[in-house]
Amino acid sequence: MLYREAGQFKTTYGDDQAVFPIRQDRWGMAIILAIAYVALPWLATDYFITSIMIPFLIYALAAIGLNLLTGYCGQVSLGTGGFMAVGAYAAYNLAIRVPELNLIVIFILAGGAAAMVGVVFGVPSLRIKGFYLAVATLAAQFFLDWAFARIKWFTNYTPSGSVAAPPLDIFGFAINTPDRRYFLILAIVTVMALAAKNLVRGRVGRSWMAIRDMDIAAEIIGIRPLRAKLSAFAVSSFFAGVAGALWAFLHLGAWEPLAFDINRSFLLLFMVIIGGLGSILGCFLGAAFILMVPLALNQIPTALGMPLSTAMISHLEFMIFGAMIVFFLIAEPHGLARLWALAKEKLRLWPFPH
Amino acid sequence: MTASGRKIGGTLLKVDNISLSFGGVRALNDVSFDIKAHEIRAIIGPNGAGKSSMLNVINGFYHPQQGTITFKDIARTDIGPYDAASRGIARTFQNIALFRGMSTLDNIMTGRLLKMKRNLFWQALYFGPARREEMEHRAVVERIIDFLEIQSIRKVPVGRLPYGLQKRVELGRALAMEPDLLLLDEPMAGMNVEEKEDMCRFILDVNDEFGTTIALIEHDMGVVMDISDRVVVLDYGRKIADGTPDEVRGNQAVIDAYLGVSH
């Protein structure tokens, strides 16, 4: 009964096209942001911040990148991990070779580097679709894995191939505690998620969706497939690149190429499918879900007094992911985000559905 | 029925000696005709006569082996769909080609894409010029929604709409491009009488109010004879007749093509 839009009149097209046209949603969002920015850093333990919130936010950011490409533009990609690696190594090389660069500038340039690589590997999408494109992006993943493991220049000739982020600071403000890292990531993710939302509700997003839904009709109304697809690859890889740089610098601290292998790509694809193809909210839901399942498997049986072995948990994890993906692909291709939208739709009428 | 207020102008599009074949199949064989500004021009013919191929040639989707197409006094032999769209040719399809995952509003908004200029960075900010541009085009699209009387389905994903409404949304998307030449491929196929009447009314209104030149393919002869100014008849890829509805109706070749001749 609280979730009603009655009495909220939209008098301009701007109101109608707002991200959250309903007042209750705006309040909900404000509360979530207040929790994320104020309550969590104040109340949560360092463990919660570093092992749950930080990976959650970075995964969500990378998932947004993949979703722009796969969910909005319809181009399946298995190379997200590779594009994250480009961001991570670009950031690393910029940080050690041009130490005077501001950290934010480094992240933006890292995203830019990933975007360029993404465009190069997006070129085959002009000719091939669906399944075959997925294989082509898989090639990108393996090539990038190989490049960062074998071309020593990228890792600055460290003998082990593993590299570490330099000490980080922004405008002389050291990013050295979990809270500070969390704030930086949260700010970046907030800004970029909003930017993604703006893109998909405007001209660019519509041209992507048109290509996804029917490329022939899109061409006939004057969308150039080349431009639309490559811009999707560029923006998607930019997001993945920034996420990769954040993952390397602020989550791992020290890493090797394996940190961005094919499994990362698969995990992100699972998030996007479970969360919801073609939804920004879905990226957050998917990322949360994928992170929660192992935790829940760990905590719940212990709480019930029958702890599971670690091997058992990791097997169960695979089985649950597999089952969930099959379930969502069959029953609800638009994922958790769609379920959430349906729940809201029901809630609008509740308790008088007729 | 020639609408009262409008004036038929000079030649807008001229098709000269177009031949198109796929392998051994000659879809179009030396076809020539013209379309004058502001008129409603029907292309008719039995199944497989090459009508849809003709539209595909006009809007750059097929590339004819022979012949030229002159649009707005510029002749060209080879053109892509993008060029055709940006020079003012819009079309609808025989089998509906809407973007099924998007709402009615978004579908019609895609028709404005060519007219929207702000780049990616402004789009990401959704602020100032980008926002203003979006609102301006939204206002244009709302006028089209009013015109086609589809206000109530503005936010509905088009995949969920019934057939007749989908056809109407597709017409809306083409109108949003503000075309000089509108190609309609069987706009009334599979409709009941009322839906056909609505669609006829929209076509005549578009022609009358916006002065849009219309070329349509249609199988319903009643409709064709009623609303079109001139008719071109194709059969087996050749033009067999061209003229006003009355001339075409009395033409022996046309009667033979439709009813068959005894040998």
Q: Please report which confidence band the pLDDT of residue A120 belongs to, taking 50, 70 and 90 as the band edges.
A: very high
How many pairs of residues across A and B have Cβ atoms under 8 Å apart?
Answer: 99
Which domains are present in chain A?
22-349 (1.10.3470)
Tell whether the model's pLDDT for residue B6 goes beyond 80: no
Domain edges within chain B? 1-88+179-263, 100-178
Tell whether B167 lies on the interface with A, counting CB pairs under 8 A: no
Q: What is the mean pLDDT of residues A320-327?
A: 85
pLDDT at A168 over 60: yes
Nearest CA of chain A to the CA of B162: how many Å?
18
Q: CB–CB of B93 and A217 under 8 A?
A: yes
The larger pLDDT score, comparing residue A304 to residue B216, is at B216
* Cβ–Cβ gap A217/B81 under 8 Å: no
Q: Is B110 on the interface with A (CB under 8 A)?
A: yes
> Which residues of chain A neighbour B123 with C-beta distances below 8 Å?
198-199, 202-204
What stretches of B37-81 adopt beta strand conformation (E)? 40-44, 66-71, 74-76
Find, in chain A, the residue whose alpha carbon is nearest to that of B106: A206
How confident is the model at residue B240, as a pLDDT? Answer: 92
Question: β-pairing, B213-217 with B181-185?
Answer: parallel
For the residues B240-250, what does the mean pLDDT come to? 91
* Residue among B75, B72, B74, B73 nearest B18 (CA): B75
Q: Which of A51-55, A228-232, B249-253 has the lowest mean pLDDT?
A: B249-253
With CB atoms and an 8 Å threshold, state whether B113 touches A221: yes
Question: What is the per-residue pLDDT for B257?
Answer: 86
Question: What is the predicted pLDDT for the residue at B250?
Answer: 87
**CA separation (Å) from A166 to A93, A228, A249, A251, B248?**
10, 37, 8, 13, 82
Of A10 and B22, the one with more pLDDT: B22
Structure confidence by residue, pLDDT tens digits, A329-344: 888 878 889 888 888 8
How sure is the predictor about B1, in pLDDT bands with cuts at 50, 70 and 90?
A: very low
* Residue-level pLDDT at A138: 93
Name A220's Cβ contacts closer than 8 Å, sequence gap at least 6. Answer: B59, B61, B81, B84, B85, B91, B97
Query: Can you name the CATH fold of B1-88+179-263?
Result: Rossmann fold (3.40.50)
pTM, rounded to two decimals: 0.91
Nearest to B123 among A199, A218, A278 (CB): A199
In chain A, the residue whose alpha carbon lies closest to the alpha carbon of B85 is A222
Given a cut of 50, whether residue B194 has pLDDT beyond it is yes
3-state secondary structure A84-97: HHHHHHHHHHHHHH
d(CA B257, CA B260): 5
Position A1 pLDDT exceeds 60:
no
Letter string b/e over residues A211-225, b meaning 16 or more CB atoms within 10 A of that residue's CB: bbbbbebbbbbbbbb
Residue with tokens 């070329």: B215
For residue B174, which residues of chain A lie inside 8 Å, CB to CB?
221
Which residue in A203, A212, A216 is closest to B118 by CB distance?
A203
Chain B residue with minimal CA distance to A13?
A: B135
Looking at the predicted structure, is the pLDDT value of residue A282 above 60?
A: yes
Q: What is the pLDDT of residues B67-125, one digit of tens each?
A: 999 999 888 777 889 999 999 999 999 888 999 989 999 999 999 998 888 788 888 88
Cβ contact B110–A206 (<8 Å) = yes
The answer on pLDDT for B5 being more than 70 is no
Which of A328 and A143 is assigned the larger pLDDT?
A143
Interface list for chain A against chain B, based on CB atoms closer than 8 Å: 12-14, 17, 195-196, 198-199, 201-204, 206-207, 209-210, 212-214, 216-224, 231, 235, 278
Q: Hey, of A10, A192, A203, which one would you mutate to test binding to chain B, going by the most B CBs within 10 A of its CB?
A: A203
Average pLDDT over residues A178-189: 94
* Cβ-count burial A21-52 (b if 16+ within 10 Å, e if not): eeebeeeeeeeeeeebeeebbeebeeeebbeb
